Amino acid sequence: MSDKLSKFSSKLGEELSKSYCIFGENSFQIQELTEEFYELAKNDAYETKEVHIINNKTDWSFLSSSEENFDLFSSKKIIEIKLVGSGPGREGAKAITNYVSSDNKDKILLITAEGLDRKSRSSSWIRSLKKSGKAIDIPPISLNQLPQWIISKGKECQIEIEKDAAILLSEKTEGNLEATFQEIKKLSLVLPNNNISLKEMAKFISNSSKYDIFDLSRNFVLKNKKKTLTILESLKVEGIPESLILWALARDISNLFKVKLSGSTRGVWGPRSYLSAVEITSKDITKKKISSSLKQIAFIDSCIKGGTKTDSWQALRDLCLSF
């Protein structure tokens, strides 16, 4: 079954399917929907998760071993597969097809696919997923749609953002959802339960911090480690959540991977200085380095959610230093 984004939440409220696939062009949207899925699955006692970030050297035996190692007393588990910029390949497609055709009691397969091309979306493994579960296609948010998205997110954060104010914010962030949401969260802390007019938005933007997510992203991508750490500490002092910073860095690494594969920044959002930084670094960075960094991203996500005892801010520092 294939669902539009607007219907996804209500569909999740029904009996959980044994497999889900979330498509999208933007890592922020995918992450947001994935977290919603985990919260709902948790209500049905799915407490354990197993995350696999896919590259061309991935050993897909984890799907067959997951099926074979079923324990009568084991907890319910979610197996998450992260695809970035490409499909699972021939071996992976076969493994996924075989897995969803089997009876995997108390297990849910969740595949998140960022930047998957249309050809891959019509392949046989996708069709098998749709038969066994649900596929959710997240439509990208255009610049024209961004002000309404800002207004909606403002309501979620208990603030009412007027249309002119939303347009001003969308122009400042240039379509970057991570940076836009960061500003909305900051607004909700500075002016809780308020109506945000154009005048108040202009004042807020002019008084915004010396550093923002764009500064962090640009310096991270350029591998300016000293400056990146300075900005990271500044954002921490401001009270910016680790999850927002992680979304930004995950997006940066995903963008580097996409540009390295395609040779072009087309379809990547951000200021010109950011796009230039991505283009420069994509020429030198190796796929191995990107893969290891994505594994660090998954580890930091676990730290933030309390899955390990490692301090999440220290894990973020380690990523910035090692990238």
Domain map of the chain by residue range? 2-137, 146-206, 213-322
pLDDT > 90: percent of the chain: 29
| Fold designation for 146-206 | Helicase, Ruva Protein; domain 3 (1.10.8)
Q: According to the model, what pLDDT value does residue 3 have?
A: 44
What residue spans of the chain are helical by DSSP H?
5-12, 27-42, 61-68, 89-100, 118-121, 124-132, 146-156, 163-173, 177-190, 198-206, 213-221, 225-238, 242-262, 272-282, 287-304, 312-322
Residue 83 above 70 pLDDT? yes
Express each pLDDT in 274-300 by its tens digit: 888 898 899 889 989 999 999 999 999
Between 322 and 4, name the one with better pLDDT: 322
Quote the DSSP letter at residue 74.
Answer: P
Q: What integer is the mean pLDDT of 29-37?
A: 87
Express each pLDDT in 208-221 by its tens digit: 546 778 889 889 99
Q: How confident is the model at residue 197 (pLDDT cuts 50, 70, 90)?
A: very high
Express each pLDDT in 169-189 by its tens digit: 998 887 888 888 888 988 888
Instruction: Give the global pTM.
Output: 0.60
Q: According to the model, what pLDDT value does residue 68 have?
A: 52
> For residue 283, which of 266, 269, 297, 262 has the smallest C-alpha distance?
262
- What is 213-322's CATH number? 1.20.272
Q: According to the model, what pLDDT value does residue 215 have?
A: 85
Tokens representing 296 are 């660090």
CATH value of 2-137 in 3.40.1130.10, 3.40.50.300, 3.40.190.10, 3.40.50.720: 3.40.50.300
Q: Which residues pair with 24 in a beta bridge?
A: 114
Q: According to the model, what pLDDT value does residue 175 have?
A: 81
Q: According to the model, what pLDDT value does residue 74 have?
A: 58
Tokens representing 243 are 């999850």
Q: According to the model, what pLDDT value does residue 164 have?
A: 94
Residue 4 above 60 pLDDT? no
Residue 103 above 80 pLDDT? no
